[in-house]
Amino acid sequence: MFTVHSNALAILFCTITMIGWGSWANTQKLAGRTKWPFELYYWDYALGLLLFSVLFMFTAGSMGAGGMSAVQNLKLASSGAIGQALVSGVLFNVANILLVVAIDAAGMSIAFPVGIGLALIIGTLKSYQEQPKGNAGLLFIGVALVLLAMIFSALAYRKLPRSTTGNWAKGIVFAVVAGCLMGFFYPWLIRSLSPQFNSGLIVPGKLTPYTALFFFSLGVLASNVIVNTIFMKTAGRTYREYFAGSAYLHSLGILGGAIWMLAFGLNVIASGVAGPAISYALGQGATLVAAIWGVLIWKEFKAAPTGTMPLVALMFAGYLAGLLLIGFASLT
């Protein structure tokens, strides 16, 4: 299996994670512009996760002589490790559906900073508790700056006229709940992995990153049968509507899932060198990327009154400074 052995490559992979995690939601925004409901979009998104995890598992997860091939690891995996990866997928799925609701209600500029900002703080602290690796001082100062940036984002968004913000209150509530849940999915996945998997030695019963991603995506899809069905019924959507969707609409969701899983896979692989806390925190710099998309491309602040843009600038500065400190934490 393919593994990472240098800090430079690990940071590069985490940077790609940041871009991917901050960009996948653009496919949902595009689908929303054609009146394709997020409940229907999300089925294809979950399928995209699974399909790419299988591709990942039988390519990078099976190449080379080091470590353990995906097929061999599947045969030797314990039920405990598989269960941890499945639970991780379930936690992520519930949180991510709530985040998509928040994006639909309040836009990327507020849903991502609030939801993913909270997830970053909780997930980083829990991951560091599991495997304390890196400079703790730089890491936690960086996380604090991200929290400050999240606050600036919320203050800036409150200045927008309510007519341009959709259901602002609903978006905030869903983003907060999503962030709290999402902060716990990463530590659960890390528990399923073999310690020091990047050395090529896989503890019997434990998972490689590639098989863990596969079971994670199975957890997402299985829980989606219950969770998303509930959301569909609440919104008055039917499966007939889903199957009547065009190939273009279905491709948007699958593409969104594939982008997210590629980013996640690189992040988990990088965690073997950078450490789970730093790897996760850098990846969740997606908040900065999503805010850039929301501000510059989707023009979510075009109706902003005087005095709003300085807050947006402070938000960007806080995220950038925080992410740089988190990156330096992995090098010391």
- Predicted local distance difference test score (pLDDT) of residue 79: 97
- Predicted local distance difference test score (pLDDT) of residue 109: 64
Stated as kind and residue range, the H or E segment containing 26 is helix 25-33
34/251 Cα distance (integer angstroms): 13
- Sorted by where each begins, the domain ranges of the chain are 7-329
pLDDT digits (tens, 9 = 90+) for 257-288: 999 999 999 999 999 998 888 888 888 777 77
Paired strand residues for 207: 193
Do residues 175 and 235 lie in contact, with contact meaning Cβ atoms separated by under 8 Å?
Answer: no
Mean pLDDT score of the chain, rounded to an integer?
88
Average pLDDT for residues 199-222, to the nearest whole number?
A: 95
- Predicted local distance difference test score (pLDDT) of residue 165: 47
32/54 Cα distance (integer angstroms): 28
Place of tokens 């979950």: 46
Alpha helix segments (H runs only) across 34-78: 38-57, 70-76
Residue 108: pLDDT band with limits 50, 70, 90: low
Do residues 20 and 285 lie in contact, with contact meaning Cβ atoms separated by under 8 Å?
Answer: no
Which two tokens mark 285?
A: 């710099």
Nearest of 221, 217, 208 to residue 77 by alpha carbon: 208
50/54 Cα distance (integer angstroms): 6
Query: How many CB atoms sit inside 10 A of residue 19's CB?
Result: 16
pLDDT digits (tens, 9 = 90+) for 145-176: 988 887 887 788 777 776 544 567 778 888 88
Q: Please give the full DSSP string across 248-275, using - where no structure is assigned.
A: HHHHHHHHHHHHHHHHHHHHHHHHHHH-
Helices vs. strands in the chain: H and E counts, helices first: 15, 0
49/126 Cα distance (integer angstroms): 24
**Taking the chain, what is the end-to-end CA distance rounded to the nearest angstrom?**
28
- Predicted local distance difference test score (pLDDT) of residue 232: 93
Look at 45-59, 134-148, 233-247 and tell me which has the smallest mean pLDDT: 134-148
- Predicted local distance difference test score (pLDDT) of residue 166: 55
Average pLDDT for residues 214-230, to the nearest whole number?
A: 96
- Predicted local distance difference test score (pLDDT) of residue 267: 95
Nearest of 243, 203, 191 to residue 87 by alpha carbon: 191
Look at 103-107, 123-127, 286-290 and tell me which has the smallest mean pLDDT: 103-107
Average pLDDT for residues 1-27, to the nearest whole number?
A: 91
* pTM confidence score: 0.86
- Predicted local distance difference test score (pLDDT) of residue 162: 60
Tell me which DSSP letter residue 294 carries: I
Answer with the residue of higher pLDDT: 205 or 324. Answer: 205
